[in-house]
Structures are given as C-alpha cells and as structure tokens.
Structure 1
Amino acid sequence: MTKASDPQPDGSTPPPSAPEGTGLGEGGGVLGRWFAPVKIPRDAIATLRALAARGSLVFVMRSPGLLGFLYLRWFLRRAGLPPLRAAQGFHGLTGWLARVRRTRRAFEDAVAAGESSLVFLGRPDAEKNPLAALVRQQRDLFQPVFLVPVLLVWSRRAQRLQGSIWDVLYGSPESPSAFANAIAFLRAFRRAVFDVGRALDLKEYLAQRAAEPDASVALRVRGALHQHLAREFRTAVGPPLKAPSRVREKVLRDRSLRAAIEAVAAGTGRPAQAVVAEAEKDLREIASNYDPVFVGVMRALLSRFFRRLYTSVEVDEEGLARLRRAAGEAPFVLCPSHKSHVDYLVLSWLLYENGMTPPHIAAGINLAFWPFGAIARRGGAFFIRRKVKGDRVYTAVLRAYVKHLLRDRFPQEFYVEGGRSRTGKLLFPKTGLVSMEVDAWLDGAADDVLFVPVAIDYERLIEASSYANELAGGEKRKESLRGLLGAARVLLRRYERLYVQFETPISLRQVAAERLGARAASLAVDEAWGGEAERRAAPGAAGAGDDAEAKRQLVQGLANRIAYGISRAVTITPVGLVAAALLSHVRRGLGSEEVARRVELLRYVAAEGGARFARDLAGAPSDPRQAGPIADAVRRLARDGLVRVEVAAGDTIYQVVDEKRPLLDYHRNAVIHRYVAPALVASAARAGGTGGSTAAEVRDRALWLSRLFKLEFMYRSGASFDEIFESNLAFLVRVRAVDCDAGRVLPGPETTALAFLADLVRAYLEAYHLAAAAALAALGSDAPRQAPLDRRALVREALERGRGEFLSGRIALRETLSKATLENAVEWLMAQRVIAEEAGKLRLASPASVAELRAIMDGIAPHLAM
C-alpha cells in the first residue's frame, strides 16, 4: 500500500530518482530532470533484475523513437540493470543521433554477452524482421533470451476513426511523429508512464516449436509482441473514439435492439419509425460523451481536490498492477463499493494517473441535472433510470449500449450494490447490469469479461450527517444544482484517509465454465423481449425455462462472487475497530483495558480471515492509552463529539455519546462483515444460557440466524454452512469464549469475549424483532382498523414503535432504529411469504402468518438476553 499525499495515489513505484522502494540513487544529469517523474510499475525493477540474472534482456518497442530510446537507456542505468548496447530497427537520422550500435553483429554480440538490447518492431516485413536473427541465435545459446515489451506513453491523445489536422501535425497516437513526441514530452513528462509487459522466454517458446522454421517462428513472435503492445497502448489511451452520431448509429443497428423495436411496433400497433425515434431519444438520455482532453484537464483539478480533502489516498499497489496486467488480456468492469459521491471520482483519477483509460461509469439518472450531467458525461458517465421495468424499448437500448462499450473494449464501472450504502455495510447485490454484461458476452461482444471487485473506504465520510438523518427516518434530498453549490463547504474540512483496495479480477468465462461446464456454450442471449431465451422459456417449449434458469443462476452467482470480493477487499481501519469495540456494548461505558482486549480480538479475527489492514496498524498497540493509530482514532472521535472520555478511579472510561451512535455505527458496519460468522455462532452459543446446548442445537440456531440475515451480509463463497460453522466454533474454543464437552457447547472462561462477539449483531437482531412486532401489531387480526399500509408506512410505524421501546429500555441500542435495516427486515418478511403486497399495500400472506411472526420473535428473543 502506498501513501499519496502530494498527490501520487498510484500503484506505481516512485520514479527512479526516488530511493524509496527501488534501491536507486538520485537521478542526475540533464535527462534525470525530465525522466525522473515518469511512473513505472512497482514490481518492474525487481522482475527485470530477476530476468537479467537468468539470461539476456531484449526490450521491444513498437515504433522507432529517440525519446523512447533515451528513456530506456537512462532507466536501465539508474535501475542497475545491464546497459543498453545495441538496437535494431532504428534507422535514419534519429538512429544516428542516438549513438547506439545498430548493426546485426553488434546486436548479436550484446545478446550473447548478456547485455541489454532494443528492437523496434516497425512495419511488418518478413525479409527485414529484426527478430529472425534472434530466433536463429537463441537456438545456439544456452541462456534464455527474454523479449520484454515496453511502452512509454507521453501523450494520452486518443485515436479517432476520422483523421484531423492534428494527425497531420503530430501523426497518429499509435505512431506519433518525432515532433509530436517532443511536444508531448515537454508538456506532460510529469504524467508520463513507462509500462513493462510480460516477458516472453524465447528459449521456452522455441522448445515448443522445435520443428517449425525460424522465419515462421520469428513472424509468430513479432505478431504476439505487436498484439501485446497494441493492447497495452489501448489500455493507456483507450479505444479509437467515434463521433456521438456514429455511436448512436452503431447502437441503433444492434440486432437485439432492432428485434425489440419490431416486437414493440407489432405488439402495440405503433409505426416502427416512432419506436425508433423513442429508442434514439432514450439513447441520448443514456449515452456518455467521453472526451479525453476534458479528462486530462479534470485530472489536475481532482489532484488538488484529493490533496485538499484527504490526508492521504492509500492505494493497493499490487492490486492496481494486477488490474493493469489484466486490462491487456480482456475488457474489464470495475465493481466498487458505493458509500460516497467521491467514489465516482477516485477510480477515474487513479486509473488516469497510472496510465490507464478512465472507465465509463453507470450513474443514476438523478445525477444528470444541469450542469453536473453534462460535465459527468464528458468524463465518461452514462445515465440509467432507477426503474425500467415494463419499458421494453429503454431496456433494449440500454442493453445495446452496454454491448457497444464491451465490444469496443471501453473499461466500465458500475456499482453492484445499486445505490450508496447509508449504513456503511455492503448492500445485497443487484443483478441488472451484471445480466446485461453476461448477455453481451453471450452475444460475442468479447471472448471474456473481467469483473474487478474494489473496496473504497473512508476514515471520515463527507455525507455522514445526511446519512444519519435518512436512517432516522428523514427523506433523502434530491440532487440538484443548489445542493451541488451547497456541497462546496466540504472543501473547508479535512476527511482523514481514503483507502482503495483491488481484489483479484473475476473471469466471466471461468465462472460460467465452473458453474455450467460445457452447457455454458449453449446458453442463449436474452434478446430483451422476444428473443431466443424467451422462446425457450415459453410454456410447452422443449426444455422450457431450463436455459433461462441456468442463466439466472449464473448471473446471481457472479453478482454474489463480486459482492463477496468487495467484502474481502475492505480495509480494516483504526476507526472501524474502535467503533466495533465500543458499540457492541449495552452498558454505559468501557474501560481502557476492555477496549484494548476487544480491539486485539478483532484484529486477530480479521487477520485469520486474511483481511487487509490500514498501513499504520501493523505492529501498533491496541490500547487506546498508548500512542498509535487506535489512540489517534479515539482522539478524533472525541474531538468530533462522538465519544466522551472520562477518568475515574484511576481508569480511563470511554462512552459513546448516545445521540451520535448512528454516526459511529457507520464505521462499525464498514468492517462488520469480517466478524459476522463468529458473531452468529457466538450468539447461537450464548442463547443456550449457562447450561449450554448441544452442538447440533447451536448449529441449528446459527443456521437460522444466517438465513434471517441473508439480505444483510455476504457469506463466504465456495464453502458449505457446516464448514463455516465448524471453523468458527473451533475459533471460539481457541479464544476460550466457549468450551466443548461431550457434545455440548458451554460458555468458556472468557465470557466477556463471548458476549462481545455475540453483541456485534445485536442491533440487527433487535431491528428484525422490532419489524416483526410492528407487522403483527399493524397487520394482525387484533390490529385496530385503519387504512392499509404500504412498505414505507410500515417502516415508519416500526421506527415510531422502536423509539418508544428504546426510551423505555426494552431496546438497548439506538442504532437499532435504522430505516435501512428495518426496510431489509420488511423485505425479508415478504421473501419468507409472511406478509404479502397487493397493489402497493401490505397484508398478512396467510392465516398462519400471525403464528409465523410470533415464531420469528420467539426465535430472536433468546439472542437478546443480557
């Protein structure tokens, strides 16, 4: 993880002139001034040193250029790598100015001596392929030759399908003129990126093609390297840009969209041209207007924005480098957690800063207000309506647009949670856009699609106060220009650290093969009304519904895996640990020693699960009285009025200010997924009382709780419930929270640890108990006659009922009164068919619902005993 406070929040190494993490001294000379700021991949130097120790390095660039040559020569010298001694494909005046040996003999001598050399691929020519001699030489060499593709990007000017006057002056972005390189170098050397691709082991490559002629192998090698560099270049500057009119024309020609338009016209009797006009209007509402020049200008503004707002931006360097490597192999979709409007900005900024094309971002139509909508479209945003059910034309247009982005290999970004999380907890994944990406893949838009889970975490949230108001029952404010101008006051405050973590990309092709095997190839595209999948699913059709159900399971499984990936990538922050320690307590305050024990236990649990921690937590004390990140977090919470610190009887007592508990609860929820499994088992064990329960009884209670909270938490994928239960029960035994004796589970010596872990989910238990009680009171047979309630009204009734129970002491925790949690509880009751909805109004689903609601309340009650 790297610190970016000036503002370099990237996954690259410090430049070679900076000693941190590279082992390089200060860059000197004239070139050092210009070349030192160039970003290079964090692991590039170590990788190249390891290759140089085994064989000869032959670097490969696409087009001859003096600046590229000079930088590579400078870089190798500063990195302590074998010096650059020869070059091939470097003809004309620039080659002469480079003062490098360019003969075939000099090149072969450099390779044989283990020195570095350079090959410019240039234009394809079988007779002048500079790699042909290298292939022949490798057959006679014992040591391997490593062909290392490298790309130096000075300019981020995107290629356009139609040429312009700039192409006459500067050449194309893929093959710029010397003049263009010089201008871009002088203007943007501080933002330049040097990318080192995956090396090709020529000795191993030839061993697999021993009988193939050298000339044929040389052409294959050249083609592979050229294709690799082309992909890397496209990763940096993006696909060729089309005019908006050209994009609209292409999308409206989509086969699936045309079929949908014809079906709507035939089904409604409308003229086909009128339906086409509606589709074009919808497309204008959706489509972005991506402008790389505008993005370049915004980069400088965003750098100042992040430097002003955050102490630092902490970035997962390894994950970012992994993403860059993956971007050359297949189109990717970023799937970040969604907690703040800042999420829209940070990933685009990070990718641009690290030599990658910013993504096209799926945003809610509520953000398309003037002038933000126009600005966001130029940054790559495309806008989606929140509710599209029943609008067949709009849905088909959106599917066609997503397919266009995938086919043209534009990076994409969407939030699998749908909207922003008001609670800090990951929301249950939505499948709409995931399904559209799967359909585009099935339709052949790409060979594979990589979904990249990303966790974006904040030590202090800009929207914290507005979220607390919404959770207490307040209405969400509509986004507008007035609100945007009012938000300018956030620039006057400091919001501590921001963390960005990348999980391993998830291959759609691999997930489909794992879940469906050979059957994945037979799935049909959902043609968005009237397509093949719909016909197969029609009643009476052969295999009716089988393919549709298989695809639904694939989409849901993929969405769950993405959500679980996000949860794995979440950063465990000091403020999250402190919040979890203080809030999982039903009495007034906690002494410092108990806080330290709780924080230490939380760190232990998270570490066992492979969690990612904030950088400064490594080796830091858990005691809030000792200098370190935990003490700093407590100090900030006290300064902000969330925690009161008192000293009595020689001990320091920490009390959460009651009215501010929902604000602190946000940080607890941000990390709670790491503790849900042991918390549910601890709650199930504690519910047996001092006499304990059989292991089977504890298992059944834990299983019931996991099903109760299936809309709240993401559980570990790829493992059965029994595996998860057994491992967490063993953990509780290890920390002495429980004892297992003769098949019974009893409270262990560390009863405080058992209570603490169990109370981590107490607010959710109280909220679900409250929702069931409110539904029984409002909808049951004994309820007073009143107008039928809708969902929002039932949640309001539950909040008001809960306020009374909290004030009277029957509910212990204020954060129980969370509108978001109560909405989930009502949704769960509907999913269990305890309550039903007709024409927007709620009722009990059956005569047995009263007994079922009471059974739910009775099932929760033992877990709330103190």
Structure 2
Amino acid sequence: MDDASGSPSTARAAGAETSRGRGGLLDRWFRPVQVPEEAAGTLADLAARGSLVFVTRAAGLLNFLYLAWLLRRWNLPPLRAALGLRGPLPWLLRIRSSRASVEAALRGRQSTLVFLENGADPFPWLLDVQRRHAGAVFLVPALLLWSRRAKRLEGSFWDILYGSAERPSRFATLAAFVLNYKRALLRLGAPLDLSALIAERGGEPDALLGRKVRGALHHHLARQTRAVVGPALKSPRRMRDKILRDRSLRATMARVAQEAGRPAASVEAEAEKDLAEIASRYSPAFIELLRPILSRIFARLYDRVEVDAAGLARVKRAAAESPIVLCPSHKSHVDYLMLSWLFYVNGITPPHIAAGINLSFWPFGAIARRGGAFFIRRSMKGDRIYTATLRAYVKQLLRDGFPQEFYLEGGRSRTGKLLFPKTGLFSMEVDAWVEGAAQDVLFVPVAVDYERLMEGGSYARELAGGEKQKESLRGLLGTWKVLRRRYGRVYVRFSAPVSLRALAQERLGARAGALAPDEEGAAPASAAARSALPSTTGDKRELVQALANRVAFGIAQAITLTPVGLAATALLSHRRRGLSARELAARVDLLRAVAAQDGAPFAPDLQGAPSDPCRPGPMADALVRLSRERLVEVHEAAGEVIYRVVEEKRPVLDFYRNNVIHRYVSLALAAAAVRALGGDEAGQVRERARFLSRLLKLEFMYQSGLSFDEAFEASVDRLSRLGAVAAEGGRIAPGRDAAVLEFLSEMIRPYLEAYRVAGEAVLAAFSGPGRSAPGEGAPVALDRRALVREAMERGRAGFLSGHVALREALSKATLENAVEWLTQRGALAEAENGRLALDPQWREVELPSLLHEIGRHLGG
C-alpha cells in the first residue's frame, strides 16, 4: 500500500537505488527513512557548485551517521567532519570535530555538519572561512525526525526521562529511532549561499551577520518541525479558557447580555456549552494508532491511491511557511480519512476538519474528534453566541498554526459536479486573518476523485427523490459490507495554494488594510460606528467571494480526467440507443485533445494509451468494469461492437460524467447556441450562448477573471479548429463536422430538460386544477419541497411519455437548482412561512417565454 499512496514510496530514500548493489550495516535501519523526492538532485547540483554544510538543530551522532550514509549512497561528497560533536562514541568512530578539520573538508569540497544548539556559535567563523575560501559554501538546513511526538505546553513526568519534543534526551532519541525508524523522515530546507550573502551584505561584521544567519536557520527549522509534528498542544481546559477569553467573543457576549437582559454568567455558560459541542480533542497518538488501520483499509478498498507528488511537495513547503487551510472537493466520506492519512504518512501534521454536526453521533463523533474533527451546525442563523464561539475557535486554530480543512461545497456532491462554494467558513478565516491571528493564510484547493464511488448507489436513490439516510451507529455498523468490494483507483491532486494576503492586495490594494471583521467578530459595537464603514463591509464581502471562487476554480483545475469519466461523457451525450466502439473512440479522442490543450491532469495510465475500447488499455478496462457492474451492455452486430447504457443506470453513470464536464462547458454552450440557430449573425449566436450561460449559472462555475465575451470568442475559435462551426463574414454556422457539434451540444441537454420540467411544474402548480392558466383553485403559495416533488413527478410522467428524453434529467439536485434559479430571478418570491409564490408577470409572460426558448434547444 505504500506504493499505492504515491508519495511515501517515491519519497523513501530517494536516490538510494543508485547504489542498489552496495550493502551496509546501516542499510536496514536507514533505508526506510522518508526523503523528499527532489533532494538527491538538489544536493547534487549544490555539490557541483560548492561545499555542503548541513545544519541540524541539536548535536547527535545518529544524525551524523544517517547523513553520512545517505551521501555515500547518492555518490555525493562524503561527510567528513561535524563541528562540536563530542562524546566517547564519536571519538571511537574517529569523527573529526575541530574547526581545522571542518575547514579542511570545505577546502577539499567535502561535506560537513554543524549544530545550532551546541556551544559556540559557528556561523561568524563560517562566514570568515567563506571570505577566505574560493568556492561557495552552502548551508543546508536538515531536519531529521525519528519521532512524531508533539510538544506539550504542560510538562509531565516523562519529560524528565525523554526531554522535550524539541530537545529530546539521548535516551529518547535512541528509543525513538529503534521504535520508529520505519516512519522517520528527513526534510531539507532552502540552502543559504554564504558567498552570495557576503557579496550582498559584505559590509556587515561577521558577528552580526552570523547572528542573522543563525536566527534565520533556527526559524526555518522550527517551522519545518512544526509542519511535521504540529504546534504545541494545549490541554482541553487551557484551550477552552483561551477561546473564552477571546476579545471578539467577549464583546459579542457582552452585547447579547445587554440586549437580552441576561446575566453575563448565563451567556458565558452558553458559549462554553457551544464550545464543547464544537471543539475537537486532537490526539497525535490516536492518529498514529489509526494510521496502520487506515493503511490496511485503503489497501483493501482501492487498487491504488495516485497522489500528485509535485503538488504534495508544494503543500509541504506551504505548511512550513504559513498556516494552511485545505479545501477539497467533497464526494465521499472517504475524503477526510484519505487526506488525514495521506498527510500523516507523508510527514505533514493532519488537519483539524470542519464536519457537520450530523456526524457527531456515538461512537463516531468521539473517534473523529480525536482525529481532529470539530463539528458545526448546519444552520446557525440568528444564534450570535454560537457563531461568535465558532469564530473564536477557528481563530485560535489559525493563531496556533494548526492546518485546517473544510469543504467549500458544505456537503457531499451527489451529482459529481463541483457545487457552488458556501462562504461562511471562508468569511471566518478572513475575519481571523484581519484580526491578526496570522500574517498570511494559504488555502490549498484539493481534488479527490474516485474511479468507483462507494456511495454511488445511495446518491442515485437520493437524486431520484429518495430521502437522505441519517448518519447513525446502525449505518456505521453496516460499513462491513463496503469493505468486501473493490473500488478501483483514487486520485488526489493539489492546486497551487491561494495566499489570502496576496489576494487581498490584488483585489483591494491599499483598502485591504482597512478591512474589519463581521459583527460577531470584532466589529465596532455601535450601529453608527458600523455604518461609518460601508465600503469596508463591501470590500470584505468582495474578498471572501473572490477567495471562494479562486479556490473553487483551483479545485476544478485539479480534477483528474479518468477513463471512466471520459467513457461516461462519450456514452451519455446523445439520445440514441447505443454507440459504436469507433464513435466512442472518436469522442474520447476529442475530449482528451481539448482537455490536454488546457493542461488538464489525466490519470497516469492514460498517457499514450489508445482511446479505442477494443484495444488493450485503460479505456478497454473501464468499459469492461462498467459492463461488469451492469451499467453498460456490450453487443456485437454487423462486425461492430456497440455499447449501450442500461437505461435505469444512466443516473449512476451521470455522476462520472459530471466529474469532468466542467472542462467542456464553454464549448458546449457555444455549440448549443450555433446548433439551435442553425447559423446566424455572430452577435445573435453570442446572445443565445449568453442566455444559456445565465440559465445554467447554478450548474457550472465559469472561469473567474474571464469575461463572457472573452470566453465565447475563445470557444468559437476552438470549435472552428475542430470543424464544428464555420465562422466567417460575421456569421457563425455549423461546420463540416456535424458529429462534433452534436456531441458537444448534447452535453447540456439533461440540464435544459430539467429546467424545462421545473418551469412547467411551477406553471402548472400555480394554475387552477387541470388548467394551464391561472384560475380559481390555484394556490397562493407553495412549499419549496412541494414544488420540487411536483417537478419530480411531472418529470417522471414526461419521461414515460417521451417528452423528456434523458432519465438523468430527473435529478432532484438539478430540479432544486432550477427552483432556486427562478427564485433568484424574481419569478418565485418568498411568502408567509417560507413558502414561494409565483409572480403574475412571470406566470403570464416570462415563464412561458422561457420555456419556449429552452424548447428551441430541445427540438420542441
């Protein structure tokens, strides 16, 4: 399973295989140490340009032996001296430790080792050596961790024996090595070129410059240590007291007590109760206990876990620079388990995870809290104490430097599409940053994709109108059935972190310094004072939305295109019974070419593989798997292989198409506009595409920072190169390749059919019995859920009668979006008790007109 995780295997003693034939006494103990994949190449490059001086925090013979072993295996300049390494064992091993031996090694272009915390400061002397030395001297921070034991603010009896986590005793180091050598790790920091430093700041005395070098190295190694083992742990009581003393929370409690006439003690007790409901009970020891269990579970469930190694390395660097917030896509309950496990086995502190309060049931809630989960209510509207307490908790996590994780979609995506971001937690993180909890916050977009989804069957039932099953102990006990199946591969990819500080500067410029948090945070107490900052409130809202959009776009860019996703897109985007292998291969070729031009990530086994499902390769394997799962039927007729989607299983396959459809939406909108008009003036085609774009704005996220006109022009240009359209003389018409135009246009058909069904259901619901026009007996207002149920039922009737062509159009989630779209457009207005009423103008004119326009794309 280490190989399946990607990073643990590639990072283990990278480069050690260069000396596969050279055995050694220490190989057994040192070979398992996890080393960054790029380390060997980086050190080789430095060694070619100068001399290497490794810098570790504390003196230790074990560190010297490991580095010496590693350099020997990589055929790099050997480690010849360690300044200040004392004791009988180094003496017996004849390890040179004097300044003269270190200087001689440097002149001979050999490697040496110095320590930050071992007697006299070596850096002024090293600067002096560099001034007298012709070649460059590179200081390389090296963090060797034989134990993941986190520092605790409250001391204990064991500290006497083991020392602290930062300064373990020799006994603790030896014990940690023996017990944990298979999970030990090495981190190398950015090298410091002393020759370049002297050239830049040579006028400063060596004593002063040496102190600066020492401070920079110490700070860097401390951050690296914290990124691996985590910040210092507080006891639950100390954490509680710290949060309840938060200035913003205290201000909110005082306001609520004053406005409601409640005793201050009563309000504080409410906040303490809310905090107990929210807070995690994070335990690194518990996570270490779970690690091998999760490793076995994932090995049992999945063929491989493919990890974006470069992206993960980037996250490691980010975690050592600033607090990070992971923002993954959310398609399965496996997501948070996978990421926490992946972080831990790759030497990164697992995140504190924002989870829905529905998951706090016994015993899962208690287990999850120890794994870092903190629980949030689905709705906190109007509860100022709860909101302020949650804000204070998030702020304290950020101030302490704990990695965090939350799902911008709020809940799991049942459709496979990336849902529109909810901004509540983004707003809280921005508030915490504004209040100075951290100098910067790095948001990491993460895409977690599955070849086969564990919850696929339950999602299909929910989208068909079934009720979501509440999480419970009974459901947890039923997971044993899941463990008997295999689910193919999992793909985890990381986009570049989004810097909150940089984004604020980019969007707001100098106004970023005037941002103020929301009222539940530290906003001015009086309404008059708050009204004096109207632009600040708007700026903060703009920043939060821009941050959410930027992260969402990052997730979309990181989503892996899998063979199953490509096959599902090719098979579902048409109305005929089946698709020949030849046609399917042509469609997959098109999808791959378009995505490759955008730099989309593909599943590794797709690289160079054939698109033809009749030739051995990942596409053939995907179709075999879909056939085995009875999602697709395979027929042979007239010498051709025909693939036919099982009608009742189309919604299941639709999940996998929705995983990748965002890559093709812009092309699909433009193609559908051209196809509906059959050729027209470019301006008319543009407006038709704009209509579709606005209609489906709740279904797809469009690229931020790109105007509609720019996106349309780019899409028409690409469609022209594909032969789908012909653009000349100010007109845009269907091109020579009608099949491509049809294929791309049909991608959005299920959504258009769903929106037509929803519109027809709304129109019928607010009309008299058995009539399509308003009359006596028409309801004044209806519950939103009742409207969706009406649309589902009407859609089923339409499907049976042929009015609706595609079963996947009867998606509860899409119909809910359609009702929400009508609400946002003013067609449906909030009435009493949260019910919805249809606007007369929409009922008589605008809604029938909308249905007519949608019908133009559906052929009637």
Cα drift, residue 349 of structure 1: 0.4
> How many residues end up aligned between the 2 structures?
853
Q: 1:785 to 1:26 in 2, by over 3 A?
A: farther
Say which SS state the counterpart of residue 150 (structure 2) adopts: coil
Report whether the alignment pairs 1:56 with 2:51: yes
Report whether the alignment pairs 1:441 with 2:443: no
Between the aligned residues of both structures, percent identity stands at 60
Cα drift, residue 530 of structure 1: 7.7
Cα drift, residue 53 of structure 1: 1.2
Map 1:327-346 onto structure 2 (within 5 A): 327-346=319-338
Which amino acid in 2 is paired with 1:727?
A
- Residues 55 and 140, structure 2, Cα contact 8 Å, conserved in 1: yes
Structure 1 residues 553-606: Cα deviation after superposition (integer angstroms, max 9, x where no partner): 100110011111000000000000000000001110001110000000000111
Report whether the alignment pairs 1:640 with 2:620: no
Q: 1:92 to 1:846 in 2, by over 3 A?
A: farther
Q: Distance in 2 between matches of 1:97 and 1:586?
A: 81
Q: Distance in 1 between matches of 2:37 and 2:841?
A: 64
Q: 1:381 to 1:825 in 2, by over 3 A?
A: same
Structure 1 residues 326-373: Cα deviation after superposition (integer angstroms, max 9, x where no partner): 111100000000000001101100110011110000000000000000
Q: Which of 509, 532, 550 is the aligned partner of 1:542?
A: 532
Say which SS state the counterpart of residue 456 (structure 1) adopts: strand
Cα drift, residue 723 of structure 1: 1.8
TM-score (norm 2): 0.97
- Residues 8 and 34, structure 2, Cα contact 8 Å, conserved in 1: no
Which amino acid in 1 is paired with 2:403?
P
- Residues 591 and 651, structure 1, Cα contact 8 Å, conserved in 2: yes
Map 1:714-863 onto structure 2 (within 5 A): 714-780=701-767, 782=774, 784-786=777-779, 788-838=781-831, 839-863=833-857
Q: Distance in 2 between matches of 1:526 and 1:99?
A: 64
Match of 1:206 in 2: 198
Map 1:162-173 onto structure 2 (within 5 A): 162-173=154-165
- Residues 66 and 98, structure 1, Cα contact 8 Å, conserved in 2: no
Report whether the alignment pairs 1:406 with 2:415: no
Match of 1:319 in 2: 311
Map 1:364-763 onto structure 2 (within 5 A): 364-528=356-520, 531-532=523-524, 535=527, 538=530, 541-543=531-533, 545-689=534-678, 692-763=679-750
Q: Distance in 2 between matches of 1:11 and 1:322?
A: 15
- Residues 84 and 98, structure 2, Cα contact 8 Å, conserved in 1: no
- Residues 17 and 32, structure 1, Cα contact 8 Å, conserved in 2: no
Map 1:82-97 onto structure 2 (within 5 A): 82-97=77-92
Cα drift, residue 512 of structure 1: 0.2
Map 1:20-31 onto structure 2 (within 5 A): 23-26=18-21, 28-31=23-26
Say which SS state the counterpart of residue 621 (structure 1) adopts: coil
Cα drift, residue 112 of structure 1: 2.1
Report whether the alignment pairs 1:105 with 2:100: yes
Report whether the alignment pairs 1:78 with 2:73: yes
Q: Distance in 2 between matches of 1:145 and 1:598?
A: 56
Q: 1:28 to 1:832 in 2, by over 3 A?
A: same
Match of 1:16 in 2: 13
Q: Distance in 2 between matches of 1:650 and 1:802?
A: 38
- Residues 429 and 563, structure 1, Cα contact 8 Å, conserved in 2: yes
Q: 1:711 to 1:24 in 2, by over 3 A?
A: farther
Say which SS state the counterpart of residue 750 (structure 2) adopts: helix
Q: 1:67 to 1:451 in 2, by over 3 A?
A: same
Give unpaired runs (5+ residues) of structure 2: 768-772
Q: Distance in 2 between matches of 1:51 and 1:445?
A: 37
Q: Distance in 2 between matches of 1:533 and 1:443?
A: 15
Q: 1:530 to 1:66 in 2, by over 3 A?
A: closer
Say which SS state the counterpart of residue 107 (structure 1) adopts: helix
Q: 1:97 to 1:298 in 2, by over 3 A?
A: farther
Structure 1 residues 293-344: Cα deviation after superposition (integer angstroms, max 9, x where no partner): 1110000100001111000100000000000011111000000000000011
Q: Distance in 1 between matches of 2:281 and 2:82?
A: 42
Say which SS state the counterpart of residue 457 (structure 1) adopts: strand
Structure 1 residues 650-699: Cα deviation after superposition (integer angstroms, max 9, x where no partner): 1000000000001100000011111111111111111112xx11111111
Say which SS state the counterpart of residue 148 (structure 1) adopts: strand
Q: 1:850 to 1:484 in 2, by over 3 A?
A: farther
- Residues 248 and 522, structure 2, Cα contact 8 Å, conserved in 1: no
Cα drift, residue 138 of structure 1: 1.6
Q: Distance in 1 between matches of 2:271 and 2:11?
A: 49
Which amino acid in 1 is paired with 2:734?
P
Structure 1 residues 593-622: Cα deviation after superposition (integer angstroms, max 9, x where no partner): 100000000001111111000000000000
Q: 1:432 to 1:261 in 2, by over 3 A?
A: same
Structure 1 residues 481-508: Cα deviation after superposition (integer angstroms, max 9, x where no partner): 0000012210000010011000000000
Q: Which of 221, 224, 236 is the aligned partner of 1:229?
A: 221
- Residues 14 and 36, structure 2, Cα contact 8 Å, conserved in 1: no
- Residues 798 and 804, structure 2, Cα contact 8 Å, conserved in 1: yes
Q: Distance in 2 between matches of 1:11 and 1:520?
A: 40
Q: Distance in 2 between matches of 1:229 and 1:657?
A: 58
Match of 1:282 in 2: 274
Which amino acid in 1 is paired with 2:203?
A
Say which SS state the counterpart of residue 321 (structure 2) adopts: coil
- Residues 569 and 612, structure 1, Cα contact 8 Å, conserved in 2: yes
Match of 2:770 in 1: none
Which amino acid in 2 is paired with 1:810?
H
Q: Distance in 1 between matches of 2:414 and 2:629?
A: 20
Say which SS state the counterpart of residue 471 (structure 2) adopts: coil
Larger CA deviation: 850-859 vs 68-77: 850-859
Structure 1 residues 114-142: Cα deviation after superposition (integer angstroms, max 9, x where no partner): 2111111115x6xx211111111222334
Match of 1:138 in 2: 130
Q: Distance in 1 between matches of 2:489 and 2:556?
A: 19
Q: 1:581 to 1:24 in 2, by over 3 A?
A: farther
Which amino acid in 1 is paired with 2:242?
K
Cα drift, residue 206 of structure 1: 2.0
Q: Distance in 2 between matches of 1:36 and 1:26?
A: 13
Q: Distance in 1 between matches of 2:481 and 2:465?
A: 25
Say which SS state the counterpart of residue 647 (structure 1) adopts: strand
Cα drift, residue 86 of structure 1: 1.3
Q: Distance in 2 between matches of 1:102 and 1:449?
A: 42
Q: Distance in 1 between matches of 2:56 and 2:461?
A: 56
Structure 1 residues 43-82: Cα deviation after superposition (integer angstroms, max 9, x where no partner): 1111111111111111110001111111111111111211
Cα drift, residue 521 of structure 1: 0.5
- Residues 12 and 40, structure 1, Cα contact 8 Å, conserved in 2: no
Q: 1:67 to 1:849 in 2, by over 3 A?
A: farther
Larger CA deviation: 184-193 vs 277-286: 184-193
Q: Distance in 2 between matches of 1:347 and 1:250?
A: 28
Cα drift, residue 168 of structure 1: 1.1
Q: Distance in 2 between matches of 1:697 and 1:807?
A: 35
Cα drift, residue 862 of structure 1: 2.0
Q: Distance in 2 between matches of 1:337 and 1:534?
A: 39
Cα drift, residue 471 of structure 1: 0.1
